[in-house]
Chain A
Amino acid sequence: MDMTTLSDLAPGEVGVVRRLDGGRGFASRLAALGFTPGARFTMVQNFGHGPLIVSIRGTRIALGRGEAAKVYVTRGSEVSHE
């Protein structure tokens, strides 16, 4: 399955988190909020510019565009991978 970044998903699309880039502090904060490999999410709002909103583990999280580009995901809700 093709890996892409979170910022590329359109509103309504579902996906699964695969990998976090962008350093320890960043990864640690996101992981605590539920962005761990294997976690399913739904893109709530993404206008192609500016920040976006993701629904994950029952919460809505707003992310800056730059931050979302460091979260690698796959499309669809299939958790097992490769």
Chain B
Amino acid sequence: MNKEAPMAVGHCQTTDTEEKPAPPFPALAGQTTITVALAGQPNVGKSTVFNLLTGLNQHVGNWPGKTIEQKVGTYRQNGLTIHIVDLPGTYSLTANSLEEVIARDYIIKQRPDVVVAVVDAAILERSLYLVAELLPLPSPVIVGLNMMDVAEREGRHVEPEVLQAALGVPVVPMVATRAQGVRELVRTIEGLVRGDIPYQPRCPQIRDDHQAVLDEILALVEPYVPAPYPADWVALKLLEGDEEITALMRGVLSEAVWEQVHSILMAHDDALVAVASGRYDWIGRMIRAAVIRPQVGQISLTERLDRWATHPLWGMGLLAGILALVFWLTYTIGSPLQDALDTYVVGALADWAEVLLANGPEWASRLVVEGVIGGVGTVITFLPILVIFFAALGLLEDVGYMARAAYVMDRFMHLMGLHGKSFLPLFLGFGCNVPSIVGARVIESRRARLLTIMVAPLVPCTARMVVLAFLAPVFFGRAATLVSWGLIALNLVVLALSGMAINRIVFRGERAAFIMELPLYHIPNWRTIGLLVWQRSLAFLQKAGTVILVVSVIVWALSALPSGNVETSYLAQFGRLLAPLGALMGLSWRMIVALLTSFVAKENSVATLGILYGAGEEEANLASILGITLAPASALTFLIVQMLFIPCISTVAAIWQETRSVRWTLFNLAFLLTVSFGTGIVVYQTARLLGWEM
């Protein structure tokens, strides 16, 4: 038993006196609308719990002013409305990342009525660490003891009642993947809010030698701690060396008081580890009685699978096989669907619009058919391919494989100053660069995230592959497959070189730490994957309906004004201005204009070539004209520049939204222009020297 003054924080009790009355929540007794925050570490099944409670009744957005995803939803039952806020998944609450700051700020400033902490019963020790950080905060905590089935399978039997008695907070056993325990969770939330369930948490204490220091700091800062921060929590975070709280207190404390606090902190700069150790000691005491038969020596399924999946050689082979399968599935099922969508939906819509607008002015009809339907419609035809791609990746993610892919790719990503975690977002880029740039959010350090975003547009997306698949046979006949693979490989080589260069020059070779949990493999949850696909597709469609729509119309206008003829349009005039640059690469102004129009959507370049070379809409015509007019060197250069060119406008918009920086966006555009034109010039001039020009 501790003799020191108890560290009474929030609702916490630090002694074992059970007689103390529970702190009631009288204000909540008659409420019918309550707010519940869902907290949990990554990979504990928090999103499955969230999806179970809210279903499609959820909204995905961003936390105000941040590029971190925010999910909110509602659950209604018997006149009770529960607003559920899904906090970002974090291992702790110590300002190491934006996610952690968001999670704790929400609880401190918005004071949700209840915080549900989802923990993984199979790794109870580690996942209770977040609970140890949540208990000292002002909102009452319910522990959702998830993955009870996985724990049993791993040979660990957890007794929820014993854990509940030890923690002094309600513990609800759950198997969220099979929808078990949700009703009990809701009942417990209700009971806690109405005051029917006692709440007497026993919170972690820090080790005796640091308790006195903590008290000293608390005494110094207590009068100055700004609302709504709990003073004892602030003192603890100061001791832990939390940067955000240190900056906050430095701003409000007088110089004299700060000096005193600072000198105490300097004398105890090891306190960070001591505080963390204290939390784990506390966890050890909490679970000692609750976990029966801990860790038997049997070899688990995860261990057996990982012998292959994380092996440097077999793991790479497995990854390559899985990725090949994903591509094969995506294109075998997706491409016919895309064609069908193009013919029966987009094509039909265009015909219908043409008829409908036949009596109006010609420009109106062309604006709708060529500008709106031609731009947005084409983008939408990619949806089937993307849905299949998202589903395949969602499945790999949910099963737990993606962490292994990141692990085996780590050594390659190192060459670019990145680490394994950048692999997943970059891979998403093969579907579409937009989700890949948004997906870079999984990377903790801003530097690594920026670098990932900067090289992401070099991943050849579906749209670029479509152009390649159309033009390569036109130019190279039988050699088309070889040329296509060569061009894709070139993109990846340029990506790696660009990563190295940007890392060296812009970031001066700094490197982010690679620390990643390898979760246990588990059986996929279709609901979770389905919702993921739904959300990603919806985000894509929203972009198509807004940014892409506006820019499509603008570029269409540039290509139609002033005379209605592409050849004399503003866009063509601009293309002619760039003709000297084009000459260096063996590209005519027509091809330059085709590249420029690919800025709206990559596959536009084929359509533009068709118009500029007077082939009309018939693709077969274009093929024969281009095949005759273009020398192989020019054709190859065109394809290379097309593959490496600045991304489409939606990707640029995503880069701007995710970096929140005009400077980085412009840098990226300038960089990619230089890289694509530079490579084009080198390739064309080399080909000329070798006498391939003819």
What is A's interface to B at a CB cutoff of 8 Å?
A: 20, 22, 24-34, 36-39, 44-45, 47, 49-51, 53, 57-64, 66-67
Q: A34-B129, A61-B517 are in contact. List 7 more A-B contacts (CB 8 A).
A: A28-B96, A31-B276, A53-B407, A58-B126, A59-B518, A63-B515, A64-B515
State in angstroms the CA–CA spacing of A31 and B215 once bound together: 23
The reply to whether the CB of B677 lies closer than 8 angstroms to some CB of chain A is no
The distance in angstroms between the C-alpha atoms of A30 and B96, with both chains bound, is 11
Chain B residues whose CB sits within 8 angstroms of the CB of A39 once the complex forms = 280
Given contacts A34-B280, A50-B410, are A67 and B514 in contact (CB under 8 A)? yes
Cβ < 8 Å to A, chain B residues 385-420:
403, 406-407, 410-411, 414, 419-420
- The smallest beta-carbon distance between A18 and chain B, in angstroms, is 10
Q: Shortest Cβ distance from B512 into chain A, in angstroms? A: 9
Whether B516 and A61, one on each chain, are in contact in the complex, defined by CB atoms closer than 8 angstroms, is yes
B409 to chain A, nearest CB (A): 10
Answer whether A28 and B94 are a contact pair too, CB < 8 Å, given A20-B273, A58-B295: yes
A to B CB contacts below 8 Å, 9 in the list: A28-B240, A28-B272, A33-B515, A34-B280, A44-B303, A47-B312, A51-B514, A58-B122, A67-B513
Q: Which residues of B contact A59 (CB under 8 A)?
A: 123, 126, 517-518
**For chain B, what secondary structure do more than half of its interface residues adopt (helix, strand, loop), or is it mixed?**
helix
| B353 part of interface (Cβ distance < 8 Å) | no
- What distance in Å separates the Cβ of B264 from its nearest Cβ neighbour in chain A? 16
**Interface SS majority for chain A:** mixed
Residue of B nearest to A31 (CB): B276
Interface residues of B (CB under 8 A from A): 91-92, 94, 96, 122-126, 129, 240-241, 243, 272-273, 276-277, 280, 295, 302-303, 306, 310, 312, 403, 406-407, 410-411, 414, 419-420, 511, 513-518
B518 to chain A: closest residue by CB = A60
Pick from A32, A44, A57: contact of B94, CB under 8 Å: A32
Contact in complex: A37, B273 (CB < 8 Å): yes
In the complex, the answer to whether A63 meets B277 with C-beta atoms within 8 Å is no
Does the CB pair B407–A57 fall under 8 Å? Answer: no
With A36-B280, A51-B410 already in contact, the answer to whether A28 and B92 are too (CB < 8 A) is: yes
CA distance A66 to B211 in the complex (A): 34
Instruction: Give CA–CA (A25, B377) in the complex, Å.
Output: 47
Highest count of chain B CB atoms <10 Å: which of A30, A36, A66: A36
On whether the beta carbons of A64 and B419 are closer than 8 Å, the reply is yes
Q: Are B518 and A53 in contact (CB under 8 A)?
A: yes
- With both beta carbons as reference points, the residue of chain A lying nearest to B122 in the complex is identified as A58
- Report how far A66 CA is from B513 CA in the complex, Å: 8
Cβ 8 A contact of B277, one of A38, A49, A62: A38
Tell whether, in the assembled complex, residue B273 and residue A60 are in contact, meaning their CB atoms are under 8 Å apart.
no
Tell me, rounded to whole Å, the shortest Cβ–Cβ distance linking B538 to chain A: 32
A60 to B517, CA, bound (A): 6
Which A residues are CB-close (under 8 A) to B516? 61-62
A14 shortest CB reach to chain B, Å: 12
CA distance A44 to B306 in the complex (A): 10
Which B residues touch A32, using CB under 8 A?
91-92, 94, 96, 129, 276
How far in angstroms is the closest Cβ of chain A from B459? 23
Chain A residue at minimum C-beta to C-beta distance from B277: A36
Q: Which of A22, A24, A62 contacts B272 (CB 8 A)?
A: A24
Please, which residues of chain A bring their CB within 8 A of the CB of B518? 53, 59-62
Asked if A31 meets B272 with Cβ closer than 8 Å, knowing A50-B411, A60-B518, the reply is yes
| A50 close to B312 (CB less than 8 A) | yes
Cβ contact within 8 Å between A57 and B411? no
Q: List residues of chain B with CB within 8 A of the CB of A37.
A: 273, 277
**B129/A29 in contact, CB under 8 A:** no
Residue of A nearest to B307 (CB): A45
B407 touching A51 by the CB < 8 A rule?
yes
Nearest opposing residue in chain A for B125, CB measure: A57
Residues of B contacting A53 with CB < 8 Å?
A: 306, 310, 407, 518
A51 to B92, CA, bound (A): 23
